Structure 1
Amino acid sequence: MFVVSFKPEGVSAITIAEWTDFSDLTISNYAKVLIESQILRWTWNSFVIGAVTTLITVIISSLGAFAFSRKNFKSKGFLFILCVSGLLIPTEAMLIPLYETVLSMDLLDNMWGIILPSLTNPLGLILIKQFMDGLPKDYMEAAQIDGGRDFRLWWSIYMPLTRSAMIAIGIFYFIMSWNNFIWPYIAINSEENMVLSTGLPTFLSNNVLHVNTIMAASAIAAIPTMIVYIFLQKHIVQGVSMTGVKG
């Protein structure tokens, strides 16, 4: 993708010789993409929506995980199963009622119309709860003796101990938001408010015969998620390995 994106229009990279031939590299394809589309605006929209969605969802998931993992209350098991059952409902089954709800709230063609429906994914709640279940209860008991209340326990003890899991979940949510296509395609109408996943296909459909331009646009779309993964990949490993002191 990157090699072809720097080749002149009409030149591909099929053979090894073409792959290693750097004599004809050009940035004209990137210039064309930046001039003829609003790809920078789409990228910014995707980044803002992804960042806000990730931040809010991770905090909500962590708070919910703390309640289900460390608190005892009536109907705890039923409520947890009810939350987890959200994974069984496909997105396509919710599009019509979701559209009617967002329309009644006057949030169509608005970034909050994309962010708010994305906050209900229960996967982070499940994974962070599993992480908290593996932490010793001694921390909580010691803090309670010192007079710590629930929010203080979550903020000062359990959130720092589950940081790796929260970052891993955050990366997942960010990439999922970045690649989300169906709902933004339905909810956003104006070109300036489009996200990258919906604006890019619109641009590519007008350049279907220009492979080098398509590769340049695809490279611009892929770079942000690659950067996020490169800088935060160690947290993914730590989150999967469930770090923490066992009681």
Structure 2
Amino acid sequence: MSIKRITLNAVAVVLALLFIFPLIWMLLVSLKPNGVNVYTLSDWIKWSDLTFANYAKVMKDSQILRWTWNSAVIGVITTVVSLLFSSLAAFSFSKLPFKSKGLFYLLIVSGLLIPTEAILIPLYETTLHLKLIDNIWAIILPGLTNPLGILLLKQFMDGVPKDYIEAAQIDGCRSVNLWLRICLPLTKSAMVSVGIFYFILSWNNFLWPYLSITSQENMILSAGLPTFLSNNIMSLNMIMAASSIAAIPTIVVFILLQKHIVQGVAMSGIKG
């Protein structure tokens, strides 16, 4: 093995340790008795006092499991429907000829220039008019379209060879079948990558759910967790336990789908 390869591996290991260190510290603190922190080396290697009491107390004193369930339901619905809309829009812009396609695409992509904070007031007024305040659909509906997802999927669908499309059209394949049988299978990794992006975006969404949901039982994790933490600001162990519970779903998603994430990034520059 060359010196360059050894150096790169060593740097990668150091970076990995730097990234995983806060997670390990958070987990250890969450498992320590209330009032016991992990500041010294002896605290790190002393595992005899580890306990799940903090987790039990968090689940007892808050509705964190309900918040997690709400976040998961909203995340799954938003991801599935957003992927459907985004892939259809990306297919239309990439493979279907129609008038003013460039103008419509420019209008959609220009949505990336508008910050969420700029539309909160009209969004709240619309939600209030539809009587969706304190309803999970108030969170789901505004998140069903995302210009960035359309932009990314279009770039991948531009890489689908025209020969495949033309051959399918000669065989009598219509637009819906072109999307379903040609483009979707060839952009599977991209779909998974964008789906993960949608799910994480929904999972970490804070400002709008915090404004639109008023009851504890309808809150999602990102909005309910700060409320719980503010009531336990003096207990670092409780805070770390609650944070560990909140981090578990996203970590599991990345572990299970990391192969597709890597493939999606690797394919992002491939054309034709």
Same fold (TM over 0.5): yes
Q: 1:75-131: per-residue Cα shift (whole Å, max 9, x none)? A: 110100000000000000000000011111111111111011012311110001001
Pairwise mapping of residues 53-72 of structure 1 onto structure 2 (< 5 A)? 53-72=78-97
| Matched-pair contact (CA < 8 Å) for 1:42–1:196 | yes
Give the Cα–Cα distance (whole angstroms) in 1 for the partners of residues 271 and 106 of structure 2. Answer: 26
1:164 corresponds to which residue?
A: 189
Task: Flag the 1:202–1:54 CA change in 2: closer, same or farther, 3 A.
Answer: same
Number of residues of Structure 1 aligned to a counterpart in Structure 2: 247
Instruction: Name 1:222's counterpart in structure 2.
Output: 247
Of 11, 18, 32, which residue of structure 1 is paired with 2:57? 32
Q: How does 1:62-211 map to 2 (within 5 A)?
A: 62-211=87-236
* % same residue: 66
Find the aligned partners of 1:8 and 1:35 in 2 and give their Cα distance.
16
Letter of the aligned partner of 2:90 in structure 1?
A: A
**Letter matched to residue 175 of structure 2:** D
- What letter matches 2:257 in structure 1? L
Say whether the 8 Å CA contact 2:68–2:220 is kept in structure 1: yes
In 2, distance between residues paired with 1:209 and 1:57?
40
Segments of structure 1 that go 5 or more residues without pairing to the other structure are: none
TM-score by length of 2: 0.89
Q: Does residue 212 in structure 1 map to residue 237 in structure 2?
A: yes
Residue 43 (structure 1) aligns with = 68
Q: Give the aligned CA root-mean-square deviation in angstroms.
A: 1.2
Alpha-carbon offset, residue 244 of structure 1: 10
TM-score (norm 1): 0.98
Structure 1's consecutive aligned runs of 4 or more residues displaced over 6 angstroms after TM superposition are none
